[in-house]
Structure 1
Amino acid sequence: MSTALPVAELLFGEADATPISTDEATVKPWEQGRECLRSAPKVWLSTVRPDGRAHAMPVMQVWADDAPWITTRPTSRKGRNLSGNPWCVVTVSTETLDLVVEGEAVRARDEATLRRVAAAFEAKYGWELAVRDGSVYEDHLPGSPEYGFYRITPVRAFGYGADGLTATRWRFA
C-alpha cells in the first residue's frame, strides 16, 4: 500500500440536487478518517457470500503498519467470504464522522507482521494471541482456535459529517 495520502474531494457538486455542502472548505482530511478507525472500539465488516448475498458483522479492528486490520476465524462466514472474494466494506460511526471504507482484505502470513498486529490487538483490547506457523491462535480457549489477520487496503472511502451536511470522498492511488 502506498503511504501517500489519498486524494480528498467533495462527494457532491453544485450540479447534484442534494442538501449536502458543495463548499471545498468542508473537505475533511484523511487524518480524520484514519483517527476514526484507530479509535473505534469496533467496526462493521461487510463481505460477499459466494452466491452474491451480502454479509455484515461487527469486528474488532486495529491500526498497524499504516492500515486497518481486522481479525476473524478463517472458517467463519467472514473468513470464508474473504478467502473467495477479498473485496469488502468497513463502516464505523463516531460523534464527528460516519466513515465507509471500500477495500481489499488480504490475510497476512508473515510472522513478523503477525506479531506486530497481535501486539496492536493486545494493546487496544488486552487480547493476547499466540503467533506460530503463519497463523494466530487463542491459546486461552479450548482447542486453541485459529484466527487470521486481514489487512484492509482502502481503495475508496467516504466521510459524512455529524451535521449531515458535509461529505468527503477519498480516492487512494
Structure 2
Amino acid sequence: MPRPTAELLFGEADATPMSTDPATVKPWAQARRCLESAPKAWLSTVRPDGRPHAMPVLVVWVDDAACFATRPASRKARNLGGSGHCVLTAATPDLDLVLEGVAARVPDAAGRRRIADAFAAEYQWHFALRGDAAYDDGLPGSPEYVFYRVTPARAFGYGPDGLTATRWRF
C-alpha cells in the first residue's frame, strides 16, 4: 500500500476553532495503531435503496490493510456485494479515526490463512478454512464467514483535544 500523504484537515478560513499548526498533523502510524488496538470498529455500508447501514466489526491488520469477517448472507456482506464503498470508524484515547475505502472479499487462500491466523492471535477467534470460506467450528452448525480487506481512499483523524484534525489521502 502506498504511504498516505498527511495534511491538516482545515485551512485558515474554515479552521476556527480547529488547529492550523502543521505540528499537530498525526502520523499514519498512529491511525494504524488506532485500528489495530481499538476493541472494535464500526463498519458503515450502503443498502441497495441508498439507506445507510452500520454494524460493529472486529478488525485485524493484515497485509497492510484493515480486514474483517462477516457472514456471507449478512446485510453488510450483501451491501458490499452491490457497492464495496464503506467507512470504518474506530476510537482510542488518543485518536478518533474515520477511514473511507473500498472493501473486497479476499480472493486468495494464502490471504485468508493470514487473516484467520490474525483473528486467532488477536481475539482467540478460530476459523477453519474450507474452499473459499471460513467456518467457526466452535459454534453450533459451523457457521460460514467470509473475509474482507479494506483498501483506503482517505482517512480522517481527530485528536482528543477536539481541536486537531488530520486528513490522509491515499
Alignment correspondent of 2:46: 48
Is the Cα contact below 8 Å between 1:109 and 1:135 reproduced in 2?
A: no
| Residue number in structure 2 paired with 1:35 | 33
In structure 1, runs of 5+ residues without a counterpart are none
Aligned partners of 1:46 and 1:54 also within 8 Å: yes
**1:67-107 deviations in whole A, cap 9, x for unaligned?**
10011101011111111110000001111000000000000
Matched, 1:16 2:14: yes
Counterpart of 1:94 (choices 86, 92, 95) is: 92
By how many angstroms is 1:39 displaced? Answer: 0.8
Q: How does 1:81-160 map to 2 (within 5 A)?
A: 81-160=79-158
Number of residue pairs the alignment of both structures matches: 170
Secondary structure of the residue aligned to 1:51 is: coil
Structure 1 residue 142: Cα displacement: 2.1
CA contact (8 A) 2:48 2:82 kept: yes
CA distance in 2, matches of 1:17, 1:103: 25
Note if contact 1:40-1:92 (Cα within 8 Å) is conserved in structure 2: yes
Q: Aligned partners of 2:86 and 2:16: how far apart in 1?
A: 27
Among candidates 160, 164, 168, match of residue 162 of structure 1: 160
The CA deviation string for residues 19-70 of structure 1, in whole angstroms up to 9 with x for no partner, is 0001111111000000000111110000000000000011111001111001
Equivalent residue number for residue 59 of structure 1:
57
Q: Which of structure 1's runs of 4+ aligned residues deviate more than 2 A?
A: none
Q: Where do 5+ consecutive residues of structure 2 fail to align?
A: none
Distance 2:111 2:128 in 1: 13
State the TM-score, normalized to the length of structure 2: 0.98
TM-score by length of 1: 0.96
Q: What is the RMSD computed on CA atoms of the aligned residues? A: 0.8
| Equivalent position amino acid for 1:39 in 2 | S
SS at 2:118 equivalent: helix
